[in-house]
Amino acid sequence: MKLRENYTCPLEMTHDIIRGKWKPIILWQLGKSRSSLANLERDIQGITQKMLLEHLKELLDYDVVAKQSFEEYPLRVEYFLTERGEKLLEAVVIMQGIGIQLMQESGMESILKEKGLIG
Amino acid sequence: MKLRENYTCPLEMTHDIIRGKWKPIILWQLGKSRSSLANLERDIQGITQKMLLEHLKELLDYDVVAKQSFEEYPLRVEYFLTERGEKLLEAVVIMQGIGIQLMQESGMESILKEKGLIG
DNA sequence: CAGCATCCGATCTGATACTG
DNA sequence: CAGTATCAGATCGGATGCTG
């Protein structure tokens, strides 16, 4: 994800931060609970390790996510939302709500039910 | 902007809708007031007509934006937010807030002042 | 388990020129 | 003024194999 060097609008900046294909889902997952790389990889359907790491790195760079490494074997790392990340999650929650609505309109309720997102 | 055919999560769907480089800014502008193509082109720094139309088309497809055409000369069209668009704008507002904070931290206040976004 | 490097096809973006 | 077409370069995304 290449960020621009010049921003003429603050919105562009935040949007660039959340732009990648998987960023909102990562935030969503971390909003549920701090998590390891492997767990995220398992919880986010279809993501590759490469994409996950790449996106996490950007989120780290922008202080949206932070991580804690434990010096032990096997290696253990935990990623979690920063205060800014929690704030951004509010936007993600709104998007999730709209998504649910969209899926209901398109007859994709079955998926929502599977996930326990609706009754 | 190619959308996926399968969504396993409603979030992916909304994110795909807002994914393009200029979508949030378009929503922001339309949130301020309904507007013509030419006005949007002028108000959004750096956007090309092509990108603008392309993104508008997608926003139209997903009922986030609607348009009204007047059959007169010179041709006149007005784009505006739908109810769903207004909802999505809430997310955009949060992103804008975070962006302002980020720019302040990075010593880019001058840009914010120019735009009257901060004191 | 965490993280890195590389390769390649798919997508996105922007410039430019053109139509109603 | 609104909208379309085309083309090339930049970026993104995913598969795979490797290291500590």
Banded pLDDT at B107 (limits 50, 70, 90): confident
Please name the amino acid found at residue A95.
M
Answer whether A49's CB lies under 8 Å from A70's CB.
Answer: no
B98 interaction partners in chain A (CB closer than 8 Å): 10, 14, 84, 87-88
Which of B2, B12, B88, B113 is the mutation pick for testing A, counting most A CBs within 10 A? B12
Residue B117 gets which letter from DSSP? Answer: S
pLDDT at residue number B32: 96
- A10, pLDDT greater than 80: yes
- A73, pLDDT greater than 80: no
Report residue B73 CA to chain centroid gap.
27
Banded pLDDT at A26 (limits 50, 70, 90): very high
- Whole-number mean pLDDT of chain A? 93
Nucleotides of C under 7 A from a protein CB: 1-6, 10-17, 20
Length of chain A: 119
Q: Is A30 helix (H, G, I), strand (E, B) or coil?
A: helix
Residue B76 gets which letter from DSSP? Answer: E
pLDDT at residue number B84: 96
Instruction: Retrieve residue A102's tokens.
Output: 């969209």
Q: What is the pTM of this model?
A: 0.93
Outline where DSSP puts E strands in B10-119: 65-70, 76-81
Comparing alpha-carbon positions, the chain B residue that sits nearest to A114 is B8
Residue A65's DSSP bridge partners are: A81
Residue with the two structure tokens 């599977």: A114
The average pLDDT across B50-76 equals: 92
B111 interaction partners in chain A (CB closer than 8 Å): 7-8
- B37, pLDDT greater than 80: yes
Per-residue pLDDT of A94-112, as tens digits, reads: 999 999 999 998 889 998 9
Answer whether A82's CB lies under 8 Å from A64's CB.
Answer: yes
Would you kindly state where each structural domain of chain B is located, as residue ranges?
10-114
Q: A10 preceded by cis ω (within 30°)? A: no
Which CA distances in Å does A49 have to A31, A38, B15?
A: 20, 9, 20
B77 touches strand D (CB under 7 A): yes
- B73, pLDDT greater than 80: no
pLDDT at residue number A115: 87
Nearest to B45 among A8, A97, A100 (CB): A8
- Residues in B 39-68 whose C-beta is less than 7 A from nucleic strand D are 41, 49-50, 53, 57, 67
pLDDT at residue number B86: 97
- Across the interface, whether the CB atoms of B24 and A7 are under 8 A apart is answered no
Comparing alpha-carbon positions, the chain B residue that sits nearest to A29 is B11
B115 touches chain A (CB under 8 A): yes
- Whole-number mean pLDDT of chain B? 93
CATH number at A10-114: 1.10.10.10
Which CA distances in Å does A114 have to A88, A89, A111, B5, B45?
A: 26, 23, 5, 18, 43
A19 touches chain B (CB under 8 A): yes
Can you tell me the distance from the alpha carbon of B7 to that of A112, in angstroms, rounded to the nearest whole number?
10
- DSSP letters spanning A63-87: TSEEEEEE-SSS-EEEEEE-HHHHH
pLDDT at residue number B4: 80
- Across the interface, whether the CB atoms of B25 and A13 are under 8 A apart is answered no
Instruction: Retrieve residue B33's tokens.
Output: 């007031």
Banded pLDDT at B2 (limits 50, 70, 90): confident
